[in-house]
């Protein structure tokens, strides 16, 4: 089918959809509108081609347009739209440029609106940044001008259909069987673990896999900015932060959720990532009877991860001496796991270190892997 014929069919379908009684076109009206359009235009299309045409129209009129096929590809974990300059994906761990190019920034804005409007979020000149979580768990981040200088930028991070277990991480080469056995034993022995690494290095995947080792009889409270963790235990309470409303009120941050979690009688607290002053609250939880808690942080290595936790704890707004914070870190964190993504796109755990509770310079880390 030619591009011109497809465009004529699209115009006919849109005209019929606009005739909906309440003025609100719906997906379920699309097949009938398409059949009527083909009859009017005296077109006969084979059944296979008709199904493809219907899917194309559904993607274009109700879905994510040209991005939809990318999101149906199980090997694609991230889709990145850089305005009208092009679309990139991460497929099998590698960045690739696609053949998709948006000619009009308005097309991208329409897609962003379709994504965030059902979530109760908005994006406009007053609020040019938006984050959200789609019903399937995918994370969405969008930026528009004047913040973005290249036009509307959209990033969608997808997650697998199922969470990876410790055995899965061993099979895909993230770490050796002996190293995983050590980490599983550490979690079962209620040792607190910090997973560090860069962006997209696999920290959350590893955190989720380690949480598989928590016993079924334990009560777990998870706290995340965007819910990604999927734990198999029956007694799990999942908490998620909330952005402020249009009026600027109603925000609930990680610190507030951490304080709420302490009142929920948790055996373990799992924080998806610490980025600021909540590090101090996390350390206090680890030092007040909630041993075996798990969290992640951005860092370049195990020693750097501890310094990052120091810095973030100092952002907590409580005037504590640095040495007091360091003592909380030494007594609260037992194991640091550092993960990286190699040039081929594979995620690997490159360092596991035990933190001594005794004063060092300022910390004493003993490498146990590799």
CATH of the domain at 117: 3.30.450.370
Question: Within a 10 A sphere around the Cβ of 103, how many other Cβ atoms?
Answer: 7
Same domain, 202 and 147: no
Per-residue pLDDT, 345: 81
Mean pLDDT of 7-19: 83
237 pLDDT band, cuts 50/70/90, is very high
Q: Are residues 122 and 181 located together in one domain of the fold?
A: no
The pairing of beta strand 294-298 with beta strand 129-133: unpaired
Q: Give me the CATH number covering residue 185.
A: 3.40.50.300
Decide which of 127, 157, 187 is a domain's last residue: 157
Which domain range does residue 88 map to? 67-157
Q: Token digits for 99?
A: 């053949």
d(CA 291, CA 218) in angstroms, rounded, equals 12
Q: Do 42 and 86 belong together in one domain?
A: no
Tell me which H or E stretch contains 83: none
Same domain, 141 and 174: no
pLDDT grade for 11, boundaries at 50, 70 and 90: confident
* Residue range 279-301, pLDDT digits in tens: 999 999 999 888 999 999 999 99
Whether 225 and 335 share a structural domain: yes
C-alpha–C-alpha distance, residues 302 and 299, integer Å: 8
What are 23's two structure tokens? 């003025």
- Asked if residue 198 and residue 322 are part of one domain, the reply reads yes
Compare 318 and 82 and report the one with higher pLDDT. Answer: 82
Same domain, 78 and 176: no
Adjacent-strand bridge partners of 301: none
* Mean pLDDT (the chain, rounded): 89
Q: In this predicted structure, what is the pLDDT of residue 178?
A: 95
pLDDT tens per residue across span 175-224: 999 999 999 999 999 999 999 999 889 899 999 999 999 999 999 999 99
pLDDT exceeds 90 at position 319: no
Q: What is the pLDDT of residues 129-143, one digit of tens each?
A: 988 888 777 889 999
SS3 content of the chain, % helix, strand, coil (to 5): 40, 20, 40
**In the structure, what pLDDT confidence band is assigned to residue 99 with cuts at 50, 70 and 90?**
very high
pLDDT class for 125, splitting at 50, 70, 90?
confident
Please say which residue of 103, 132, 157 terminates a domain: 157
Q: What is the pLDDT of residues 30-40, one digit of tens each?
A: 888 888 888 88
Q: pLDDT digit string (tens) for 43-74?
A: 888 888 888 888 888 877 887 888 988 988 88
Among the three residues 133, 157, 181, which one is the final residue of a domain in this structure?
157
Same domain, 72 and 213: no
**What is the reported pLDDT for 213?**
95
Q: DSSP per residue over 279-321, as a string?
A: HHHHHHHHTTT-TT-EEEEE-SSHHHHHHHHHHHHHTTS----
134 with 190, same domain: the answer is no
Kindly state whether residues 26 and 98 are assigned to the same domain. no
Examine the domain organization and report whether 149 and 294 are in the same domain.
no
Q: How many domains, the chain? A: 3
SS3 77: strand
Distances (CA, A) of 68 to 86, 111, 182, 221, 228: 15, 10, 41, 34, 21
In the chain, what percentage of residues exceed pLDDT 70? Answer: 99
211 and 152 share a domain?
Answer: no
Structure token pair of residue 200: 């997209």
Residue 167 has pLDDT above 90, yes or no: yes
Q: How far is CA 315 from CA 142, 211, 294, 325, in A?
A: 27, 28, 20, 11
> In a 3-state reduction of DSSP, which class is residue 57?
helix
């Amino acid at each position: 089918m030619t591009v011109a014929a497809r465009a004529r069919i699209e115009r006919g379908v849109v005209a019929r959809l606009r005739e909906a009684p309440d003025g609100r076109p719906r997906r379920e009206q699309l097949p009938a509108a398409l059949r009527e359009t083909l009859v009017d235009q005296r077109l006969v299309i084979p059944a296979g081609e008709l199904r493809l045409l219907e899917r194309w129209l559904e993607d274009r009129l109700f879905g994510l347009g040209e991005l939809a096929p990318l999101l149906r590809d199980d090997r694609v974990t991230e889709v990145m739209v850089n305005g009208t300059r092009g679309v990139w994906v991460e497929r099998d761990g590698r960045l690739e440029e696609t053949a998709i190019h948006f000619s009009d920034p308005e097309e991208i804005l329409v897609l962003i609106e379709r994504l965030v409007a059902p979530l109760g979020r908005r994006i406009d000149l007053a609020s040019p940044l938006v984050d959200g979580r789609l019903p399937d768990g995918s994370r969405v981040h969008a930026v528009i001008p004047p913040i973005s200088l290249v036009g509307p930028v959209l990033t969608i991070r997808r997650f697998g259909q199922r969470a990876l277990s410790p055995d899965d991480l061993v099979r895909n080469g993230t770490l050796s069987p002996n190293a995983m056995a050590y980490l599983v034993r550490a979690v079962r022995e209620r040792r607190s673990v910090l997973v560090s690494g860069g962006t997209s290095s696999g920290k959350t995947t590893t955190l989720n896999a380690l949480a598989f080792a928590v016993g079924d009889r334990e009560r777990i409270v998870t706290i995340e900015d965007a819910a990604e963790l999927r734990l198999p235990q029956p007694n799990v309470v999942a908490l998620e932060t909330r952005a402020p409303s249009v009026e600027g009120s109603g925000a609930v941050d990680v610190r507030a959720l951490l304080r709420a979690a302490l009142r929920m009688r948790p055996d373990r607290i799992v924080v998806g990532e610490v980025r600021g002053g909540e590090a101090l609250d996390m350390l206090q939880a680890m030092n007040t009877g909630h041993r075996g808690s798990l969290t992640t942080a951005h860092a370049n290595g195990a020693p750097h991860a501890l310094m990052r936790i120091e810095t973030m704890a100092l952002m907590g707004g409580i005037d504590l001496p640095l040495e007091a914070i360091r003592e909380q870190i030494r007594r609260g964190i037992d194991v640091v796991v550092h993960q990286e993504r190699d040039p081929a796109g594979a995620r690997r755990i490159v360092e596991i270190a035990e933190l001594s509770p005794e004063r060092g310079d300022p910390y004493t880390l003993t490498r146990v892997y590799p």
